[in-house]
Structure 1
């Protein structure tokens, strides 16, 4: 929203506040003069006129953003899956979710302005962050790349629009706010890639199947994130929980997409790792009780710290570890090169080891 519209909305809100005060003053002062009453009436009339103007300004902002950004949001058709994508540059690169492309190599892409689907090929898929880049085989004239926002400037309460193809309904738009930032979310292997992703943006804008890989946009027309999944409510049989969706932040999208476009793969993930394969173990009551090390990467973080197959990790620094998911979430909050203390059990005895985290 530009500064002039922000000031207009502020004046409308201020005028509304003046109306409330004027009504209260008129009702509480039996000696109010006719001139004062006329002034109150004029103020109320001004405020009533200003409020519809402010609403019209906000509606105009919505329509301007949709007009500018929707042409950069595409529908992606794989063999069995349907999702969305965002035009990344004028060379035909499109960023989307890895769980949209899965293991496929070729796709049909429909832009907002095209009547016939275009063909595209996979550049690289990075399931660890649930991101992928595909490229149009032929770049149509007028293809418009999206503008990505600075993730550090995303704030709770910002109005956002989600754009994509939910349930196959192309070029759909929903509205909400940024509900939270900095969420660490673990996907299911069935609906996503099973990745644990840090710093996700939570939004109340509706995120439905088909929205994956689309755009979460602020009122400046900038992409603040790539919608990826909706929260599942166990009480509803695992169906989506209304009003709780998540998007990969724009900064991470750019970091991964730039590497894929330049190198054909991800060379610097920024994701911390211990360098192990592991599995969840349960106690005598069949409750998750830790993460058993199955194998250790030679020369990796765990190997240098002295961990061995059969060790059961129960804590990373002060964070309890009882499942693979909890270990992934703890690592997602850390960075490669960071030092951490690993608490583990070996032959029934508790031990600790100091480890310098590697990169995934």
Structure 2
């Protein structure tokens, strides 16, 4: 019976993502047919194996998306919707760029200082939403959305104050990082001049700590228990108000690291061209990966793969690259629906199994009962 149950769990776990992929494929195909776009050419382009240079770009994109999704997932596991990762990483990246750009410490120490500043800035910015929730009852969804807008304009305002304008360019950015504070890339893909971000190990560390804290510590148990049932957590002695603030701050701390691979491994400054939208992509990726560290990793790779393949759609298939955004949205929606359907199917199967066991146990008792 145990072996059968294990197989059943595996099949149920695989059913949801497979169903989501099939639904996304069908819906996207229907959209292409209605729009009279070349269906076969679109799918052949998207499913073509990427070249080595594109593989590096996919991995680099997945690194940033992974950290963003973990930051969102921490809130999700607490039943908190931290929609403010986008603002938190902007504030954190700007603060880290300003401090690390001064070059007060040598080499790796300056990188460590920048990472610490980013984590503190992201945590403090996220903590505002946590405090508003427990003291004023403000929904974290509303407060983090508002804080995103405030962060965008605040960073733009401060950037004008401290930025150094490049000659002959409209790009405004902070002072460039010293050469000794730039993290070299890792040549993971042979035969390509472009390297994977050196801070790829930061993403791996974030994923490991996320798994370890949630599954192996008392704090992780309290966090998951509070997210599952706040009343039950209170009854077991968990200080829910403190957990809300701590979880939001911890989510912001991880959000502060989102822009670090870009800052120390690619741009070497924070400017008006710093990559936007990473926080919102993290929300979708966390949902797609079901808040699991391994699932988030696969989801981040899929997200980055689709984005990189979007450029080829315009060249080879003559289709707008916006189609990738449609596919991504359909996949996320399909995953949410598919996992709910599979969850209900699993509950129904479990109920039938328990009922059959009870019926089997009751039958011998009935046979041996006195007439």
Q: TM-score, normalised by structure 2?
A: 0.23
Q: TM-score, normalised by structure 1?
A: 0.23
Greater helix proportion = 2
Greater strand proportion = 1
